[in-house]
Every structure is written in structure tokens, then in C-alpha cells.
A and B are shown apart, each in its own frame.
Chain A
Amino acid sequence: MRTDGFVSQFADLFDEYDVLGAFWVNIQLTLWSALFATILGTILALFRISPVPSLRWAGTAYVNVFRNTPLTIIMVLLSLGVWTQLGVKLSGDFATNFFRFGVVGLSIYTASFVCESIRSGVNTVPIGQAEAARSVGLSFLPAARLIILPQAFRGSIAPLGSTLIALTKNSTVASVVGVSTETSSLLKNMIEFHSSLMVAIFLTFALGYVILVIPVGLATTALSRRLAVKR
């Protein structure tokens, strides 16, 4: 009898709250941020191995600052600083505005890790490759584009995979910039109003993340094995 009550209460929760919708918000945040962070991170990685000292310096400074700042502070600064005090708006509609700020914050933060992943990939490329590239007369950009980066990306798949996993989990921090439809906000609401079911509610959300994250880990491991440059 008691379990019946529990199961039906639990099932009612899913009618009342859009749990799948909340996960979809986190997935969207993750995908957009992954896109922008990859672009920005690759540019930063090129900066860091480039011949121009000022670019190297800029890349290093960016990584040191944003890798050492808590994501939460970046988000709070975007929301309470950039939005409310500096009056920067990314959309007239609140929900869209906050979503975009969330993507901006996640991208800025994650880019520094993408940069370091790619750089660690560059480091897996043997010196001989670069020497050979130079000896056939390639200058920096063609050597990077044709010889170094294609091998480096293969070497950086594993750390990039961990970065993607971390990004997926970090997307919950977007609640701090006011994205109120994602999983951590929903978890908080559900627990607050149904505290007797909190363990079941938490396990549901946790399981959701296990289902999201573990395949990414398996896929990147498999991919990095398959694409590993045989040496």
C-alpha cells in the first residue's frame, strides 16, 4: 500500500514538472557552448604556439585568468555586473537573454580548457614531425594546418572529451544567470515543495546525468584509441 502511494506520487511529479524539458535546456546550453568554446579555444591554442610574442602572451593570460576563476563568479559577474550594472542586453526577452548569457559564460570558461586540451594534443606530436615540416619549407601556418593540428586533434580527443563532460555538468551553473528552466533550478523547486520524495527526485536527476555523460566518456575513449597515431 505504501509503495503504491509512493509510486503514484512520484509519477504525479512528472506530470507536474517538465523534467525532460529541463534536461533538454541543459543539452542545448552544452551544445551551443561547446561550439563557441571550441572555436575560441582553437584560436587561443594557435595564439599560444604562434611565433608572435604578444599573441602568445594574450593566450597565456586568457588561460591563466579564466582557468583560475570559478565559473560561478563568471556567471554572477555577467548577470549582476554586465547585465544589471553595465546594461548589456543580448535579447529583449528575459528567458532568451539569460540563456545567451549562460552560453557566453560557459563558452568563456570552457575555452581555456579547450585551449589547454589542444595544446596537450600538440605536445603528443613528435618533434620530428615539426622538423620535417620545416625542412620541406613549410612556414608556421601551413605547418600547423597541414602537419601539426591534424595529429594534435587526434591526441587531444581524450582531454576534449573530459572537457565536454565537465561542460555538460557545468551547464547547471547557468541557473546563476537566471536560466530558471534547467535541471538544478527544477531540482531545487521539486525538493522544496515535495521534500518527502527528495531522495527519489535527486536519484532521477543524477541518473539523467549518468545517462548523458557516460556515453560521451565511452565514445571519446573509443575514438581516441581508433584515431591514435600509431608510432
Chain B
Amino acid sequence: MRTRLLGAIALAAASALALAGCGSDDSGSGGGGKKITIGIKFDQPGLGFKVGDKYSGFDVDVATYIAKKLGYSADQITWKESPSAQRETLLSTHQVDMVVATYSITDERKKTVAFAGPYFVAGQDLLVKNDNTDITGPESLDGKKLCSVTGSTSAQKIKDTYANKVNLVEYPGYAECVTALNGGAVDAVTTDDIILAGLAAQPANKGKVKVVGKPFTTENYGVGLPKDNKTCQKVTDAIKSMIDDGSWQKFLDTNLEGTGYKPDSSKNPPTPAACG
């Protein structure tokens, strides 16, 4: 028993070391190296989605394009999952070189990270069943059942500003909201329109749900960079050329094909702001 016990302790120590090792291993290498690490969402279909070792979505295409303009080919990119709660930390500790993950530019965030862009202007909208006609916007939600994700401000906004008699359910992810929508348990799902369109473009949902198409907020999606970056200007130029040479439209079309979703054309495509 004694030797077995010692073995167990040694194993535990080894795994503790392995864990500790993870903390110090710094893979973000800055601009000039051979590799670039980009933070994306792994669980947002149509935007940043991982299946097996394949990555797809609008954000993935945008990031690949920008990386190419910075001198990295697609196979020099290391993708890293960037959940909303971790994005600032990932950037400020240089674990990623940039974040392209439905990342809204806000003054609060500008205090800790830098942004290039916007490369897309999204707005909070509603996703409903295809045959639904009585939900036309946030004001028509009184008495309806609404789904959003835990800790998001989008659902609360509707409750506070538009319809206070909304029945609200919160799930950890939007995909679960769409499941509830398809099953008829909720009447609408709310978040940024392009995220909703990405969900609607999933093979399992195609033709069953639609985006209402009346965005009622403005979210400027930017490319998140470390505060002390040297690449902001290059990234901004890359975004401009992506919009000018038609790639931007192409990325949107291929990823959101068949959903009938059109981004708000009065705001899109946006003009990236100057760096500084």
C-alpha cells in the first residue's frame, strides 16, 4: 500500500506541475514571429465556430484576411478560444495577438485594450419562427416569451425599455435558445443581429427561423489588440482593403447564405476609425 500511495502522490504532483506549467507557457509572440495567435469564439455558428479541427464563420474569415495582410498565411494562425469574460485578459497578457470575436468597441474596454475598426456594425435584434408575424420589433413583445444568454444585457434592455411584461428565460448559450424557439417554448431570441443570422444559417435551423430585421441598438465590432500594439495601423488598412476589394461582402454572403438576412445598409460597411 505504501508504494502505491507514494505513486499516487507522485502522480498528483506531476499533474499539479503540468497545470502550473500551463500558466507560464506564453504563446503570444507579437507581430514579427512565424506564428500569429488570434482569439475567436468557438461556439458561435456563422461567426466563430469550431468543429473538430475546422474553424468557420465571418469572424474567422475576417481574421484570416487580416492575418494575410500582416504577412501570415492561413497555416501560421493559431486559433484560441476567447470567451467574453476572458477577452481583455487574453489581450493584456499577450496570450493572443488579436481578438476577432463579436467584440463591441466601448469606452470602458478602451481603457484596457486597443481597437482597430469597426469592421462590422451590428445591432440588437430578434429571432423568431419563420411563420411568426405578430412580433415585428421589441415593442411587440409584451406578454411574449423571450430567451437570452445568462449575464447578457440584451434581454434586460428589452425589459427595461420596451416591454416590461416579458417572460424571460436565460440559457448559457444562444444555441439552446434556438432549441427552445424551435420547440415552441419561447417566442423570440434576442442578441446582435449577425449572431442571430449565424444561428439561422445552421443547417438544422435553415428555413425554420428568421431575423426580424429591425436592429434597435448599435454595436461596433472591432478587432481587439493589446494596448501596446504596433499593428493597429496595418490592421485598419487591412479592414479597409477587405471592404474595398469585395472580400467583406463575400465573407458575409458565404457565412450567412440562405437566411435572407441583410445587414443594416445605412451603417454597413463601416469606415474604420483612425488608430490612436
Contact = CB atoms under 8 A, between A and B. Distances in A.
Mutual binders A and B: yes
Interface in B135-183: 145, 150-151, 167-171, 176, 179-180, 182-183
B85 A80 contact: no
Interface in B63-91: 85
A18 interface: no
Interface string A58-90: 000000000000000000000010011101000
Contacts of A83: 180, 183, 185
Contacts of B151: 188-189, 192
Interface in A167-200: 178, 180, 185, 188-189, 192
A87 B184 contact: yes
A94 interface: yes
Given A94-B145, A185-B150, A189-B151, A80 B176 contact: yes
Nearest to B146: A94
Contacts of B183: 83-85, 87
A87 B185 contact: yes
A80 B180 contact: yes
A192 B85 contact: yes
Interface of A: 80, 83-85, 87, 93-94, 98, 178, 180, 185, 188-189, 192
A220 to B, nearest CB: 32
A189 B151 CA distance: 6
Nearest to B168: A94
A84 B185 contact: yes
- Binding site of A, secondary structure by majority: helix, strand, loop or mixed? helix
A80 B179 contact: yes
Contacts of A192: 85, 151
A84 B185 CA distance: 5
A80 B85 CA distance: 25
Contacts of A94: 145, 167-169
Interface residues of B, number: 17
Contacts of B145: 94
Contact of B169 (A87, A98, A188): A98
Nearest to A193: B151
A185 B171 CA distance: 11
Nearest to B178: A84
A188 B179 contact: no
Contacts of B150: 180, 185, 188
14 contacts: A80-B179, A83-B180, A83-B183, A84-B179, A84-B182, A84-B183, A84-B186, A85-B183, A87-B183, A87-B184, A98-B169, A178-B171, A189-B151, A192-B85
A189 B185 CA distance: 25
Given A185-B150, A188-B150, A188-B151, A93 B185 contact: no
Given A87-B183, A87-B184, A192-B151, A178 B169 contact: yes
Nearest to A86: B183
Candidate in A84, A98, A180, A188 with the most chain B CB atoms within 10 angstroms: A84
A148 B169 CA distance: 47
Interface in B244-265: none
Interface string B93-125: 000000000000000000000000000000000
Contacts of B184: 84, 87
A162 B19 CA distance: 33
A93 B85 CA distance: 31
Nearest to B176: A80
A180 B185 contact: no
A192 B150 CA distance: 11
A67 B113 CA distance: 47
- CB-CB nearest 3 A-B residue pairs: A84-B183, A84-B185, A94-B167
Contacts of A98: 169
A180 B85 contact: no
